[in-house]
A and B are shown apart, each in its own frame.
Chain A
Amino acid sequence: MGIFLFSLLAILCVGGVLGLILSRNQAHSALFLVLAFASLGGLFGLLDAPFIAAVQIIIYAGAIMVLFIFVIMMINLEQGIAPERKRWTLGLSAVLAVFLLIELGLAVRGTLGALGRTGGESIGDPKELGRLLFTDYLYPFEITSVLIIAALVGAIVLVKKKEKE
């Protein structure tokens, strides 16, 4: 059952990203990405992280992607944009991507053996997570709130149209 769910979600996720790549329409790309993120949320759930799974779906698949779609609407391109045609850039990046894939694979294989597989069941408990956030990680948590305020103000200042003098 678990392995079936994983396979399904993994296929949906990779398919979503591939759809993003192949689609020429930005709105379609964004919707494919929503699909990929949502299935990623499901995968988080499989990894004993229900709280993060919820956050992923609400914030990422919900809020952030809605923001993307808003911007796409505002820009409102009538034609899609064709993919990159510069051969050597594409070729080199493809080669490098393959190298990175291999390297990462090797790296992960080397590292995994060192980790124990002593997965406790309660690591994703929202209550436990909340306690951690407000005790051990209090300072990063507070600082993040400042960061969000700054981003909020920054975004507004940037986009606001200047009043004509």
Chain B
Amino acid sequence: MIPVSYFFGLSIVLFVLGIIAFFIKRDLITMFMAIEVMLNAANLAFIALAKAAGSPAGQVIVFFIITVAAAEAAVGLAIILLVFRQKKSIKAEDMRLLKG
């Protein structure tokens, strides 16, 4: 029997790796992937908690997260594609229309 805390440790490591990936990468697509990594780290924590608490509720939530993530990925990628069409670039630092 593997202790639940191991899964938690892995979840935390994955989450922090996601953050680091987000800050290291410069193209929007890979940064988006980094966000997906963070989402999955959270999913892992939920599943582990469901196991620890002996309740399927955590699994149901993960099911919803995956569904919403799919929708989010579709819209997000559509936006990235649109940005690329207009700017001919997917570098994050080229997108600074909101500069004050």
Contacts and interface: CB of A to CB of B under 8 A. Distances in A.
In-complex A–B contact (CB below 8 Å): yes
Given A6-B2, A56-B66, A20 B19 contact: no
Contacts of B34: 20
B37 A20 contact: yes
A8 interface: no
Contact of A108 (B12, B33, B70): B12
Given A33-B36, A159-B81, A119 B51 contact: yes
Contacts, number: 222
Contact of A18 (B12, B17, B72): B17
A122 B39 CA distance: 25
Given A13-B10, A64-B69, A159 B40 contact: no
Main secondary structure of the interface of A (DSSP, over half): helix
A2 B1 contact: yes
Interface of B: 1-2, 4-10, 12-21, 23-27, 29-30, 32-34, 36-37, 40, 43-44, 47-57, 59-60, 62-64, 66-75, 77-82, 84, 90-91
Given A52-B59, A97-B19, A140-B64, 8 more contacts: A21-B20, A29-B33, A49-B50, A52-B66, A90-B23, A100-B19, A132-B60, A147-B68
Interface of A: 2-3, 6, 10, 13-14, 17-18, 20-21, 26, 29-30, 33, 36-37, 40, 43-44, 46-49, 51-52, 55-56, 59-60, 63-64, 67-68, 71-72, 74-75, 77, 81-84, 89-90, 93-94, 96-98, 100-101, 104-105, 108-109, 112, 115-120, 123-125, 128-129, 132-133, 137, 140-141, 144, 147-148, 150-152, 154-156, 158-159
Closest 3 CB pairs of A and B: A151-B71, A93-B23, A155-B78
